Amino acid sequence: MRGLASTFKDWLAWGRRGRENRVLFSLSVVLAAFVTLAFGWATIYPDPGNSARYFAFYWVWGLCAVGVLLAMAEYKTSPLRKRRERGHLFILLYIGALLIVTRALNAVLYYGP
């Protein structure tokens, strides 16, 4: 397990990131994890026609948009971008895809009659 964690840490180049870049990256990951878990739960327990839940998940979707902004700031301040290293676009691409998928899920899961 130690080898896998070390490989992941090296892939993300955690040691070569500045403090601000680490904070932005961590905030992006936390928001992405929250949105992923929330919509995962919503997929398992859908409630079509529940407008309160629809608006709650619309708000969660908005957090995903905030995550995109943080990920873009992380990308622009990343020292990895200049050296074109692996791992620096991972969170931005993941949150961008999450933004699209969660909007579609919200429309499908909670469309009212």
pLDDT score, position 1: 62
Amino acid code (one letter) for 100: I
Statement: residue 34 has pLDDT above 90? yes
Domain hosting 44: range is: 2-109
d(CA 69, CA 11): 22
Question: Which two tokens mark 70?
Answer: 């943080």
What pTM was computed for the model?
0.78
Tens digit of each residue's pLDDT (9 = 90 or more) over 65-98: 898 888 888 878 777 666 666 666 777 888 888 8
Task: Using the predicted structure, report yes or no on whether residue 112 has a pLDDT greater than 60.
Answer: no
* Domain tally, the chain: 1
CA nearest neighbour of 14 among 95, 85, 104, 71: 85
> CA–CA separation, 24 vs 29, rounded Å?
9
In this structure, what token pair is assigned to residue 95?
């949150």
